[in-house]
Amino acid sequence: MVDTMADEDDITKTNEELKEDVEQATPETQTKQPHTWGWSIIFLCFYGFMVQLKPGEPFITPFLLSMEKNFTRQQVTNEINPVLSYSHMVVLVPVFLLTDFLRYKPVLVLQSISNVSIWLLLLLGSSLLEMQFMEFFYGISMAARVAYSSYIFSLVTPEMYQRVASYSRSSVLMGVFTSSVLGQLLVSLGDVTYTNLSIVSLGLVSFGFVLSLCLPWPKHSMFFNRNAQNALANEAELSKMKADGPPPSSSPPLKVLTSWRKSVFFQMLKELRTVVKVPSLRLWSLWWVFNSTGYYLVLFYVHILWDKVFPVTENNSVYNGAVEAASTLLGAITSFAAGFVMIRWNLWSELVIGIDTALQAGLLLLMGTTNNIWVCYVAYSFFRGFYQFLVPIATFQIASSLTKEMCALVFGVNTFLGTILKTIVTIIVADKRGLGLPVHSQFLVYFFYFALLTVLYLGAAAWVITRHYRSQREGDAVNEATPTELSPVETDPCETDCLANGASVKD
């Protein structure tokens, strides 16, 4: 294996010398590129598809509540499910750091081991403690998903990011859809028991574990495993992608940082104070934190709601898999449709978010008050669709103003803050040591949560729109950019302010 650490001679290279190395290496790299990364991307996408094949996943809650496991609804709601939020919060930051430090593959192997542990405990466990450990491993598996989304970018040059991102997302969505459909067919047509369905899932995740061992090991990562030449190459590639972007920095000679305290990661942590001053980043980051909190709380507890409305012990027909498949497909469609929205996001972002959140709040009220299972199914599908509609928009609005490394850090911080908020809500609302509310009452709480967010978003939208048209009437408005597909917001003065390291936010 080629050593990824720089030699002592390389440490003393100047920017100019490194630029020459990059320019000389670029033609050959571009020629060999299809051969060097093509099969790795195909294999990684296949892995992303296979690791999602867990046909028993939509039926975990019915399995716990069925006669086969015989847990009570109160135990599942107030003692088993809350462990997932706690586990996710505890392991998220260590996993995020280890993902980059260990260069992705070990964390994906850990995720596969966690998946195997989930289904082993679900099959062999019978006590409340064992089911809580099952949720603990589920939290590890969720936290480790960041490794897959980051790993694929380490295999290609920056100009290929958009394409490989679409490949990986499509493979994951297709895996979730296929898994849900397969689970529903096995239950409805094959009359497979929940125990046998879990055995099938265990076999598939075990195969995913084998695949994870066969994944290639990247030579570089974003924060802790960079050398100077690789960093300069990425900088040059990114500057080509941004027509209005600045040329590669001519700052003092690049050196391989030998202290982890002086690494790129910890240097960028200091820049977060400047990043949050950018209005577009602040708005969409807040949406990511607050709306994802409510979204995942609904996902964690909706199966218990369905069992309350349509009890597993009294009915043989459970359509959890079909609903998850339909909602995944609808989410993929709305995500795709978001790419064709052409509006001035600097003016209408708050209004779009407010309307979308208001629709979600209405659907939650409907789910929390209806006794018709089909109404619950449809409302849940649209709830997921409305959330997924804004995900690519938020991703673009955040990523368009940041480098790859800073973008990964911002998304990591947003996810961590959302996880903390989700844990706080879980402790207060769901945990037996808090209010320990039944599931219908929980959904009413989630409705009020989204209703409050709606008021805040619409209030912010009214202020932004009023200020905009007032400035137009006063003749002080600046020229607006022509609307384009997902066009970034108008440049804010703080976007051009220099960061502590002498670079701008967009450098």
Q: Is residue 349 classed as helix, strand or coil in its secondary structure?
A: helix
How far apart CA 357 and CA 147 sit, in angstroms, is 29
How far apart are the C-alpha atoms of 202 and 447, rounded to whole Å? 36
Q: Where are the domains of the chain?
A: 36-219, 261-501
Band (264; pLDDT cuts 50, 70, 90)? low
Contact 6, 21 (CB under 8 A): no
- Which residues are CB-contacts of 267 (< 8 A; sequence separation ≥ 6)? 501
pLDDT band at 412 (very low <50, low <70, confident <90, very high): confident
Helices 194-213 and 161-188 pack at an angle, to 10 degrees, of 150
**Helices and strands counted in the chain (H then E):** 18, 0
Q: Residue 249 pLDDT > 60, yes or no?
A: no
Question: Cβ distance 175 to 52 under 8 Å?
Answer: yes
pLDDT confidence band for 345 (50 / 70 / 90): confident
CA atoms of 59 and 56, how far apart (whole Å): 5
Q: What backbone torsions phi and psi does residue 197 show, to the nearest 5 degrees?
A: -65, -35
CATH architecture of 36-219: Up-down Bundle (1.20)
Mean pLDDT of 234-243: 42
DSSP string for 5-17: SPPHHHHT--HHH
Q: List, for residues 142-174, the tens digit of each pLDDT value.
A: 988 888 877 776 776 666 666 777 777 788 888
Statement: residue 256 has pLDDT above 60? no
How far, in Å, are 96, 140, 249, 271 from residue 222 at the CA level?
12, 22, 18, 16
Residue type, 50: M
Q: Which two tokens stand for residue 185?
A: 């067919």
Q: DSSP assignment of 434-446, as one string?
A: TT---HHHHHHHH
Strand partners, 504: 498
Check if 36-219 and 261-501 are the same fold: yes
**Better-scored residue on pLDDT, 454 or 405:** 454
Query: Does the pLDDT of residue 419 top 80, yes or no?
Result: yes
Three-state secondary-structure class, residue 498: strand
Q: For 261-501, CATH number?
A: 1.20.1250.20
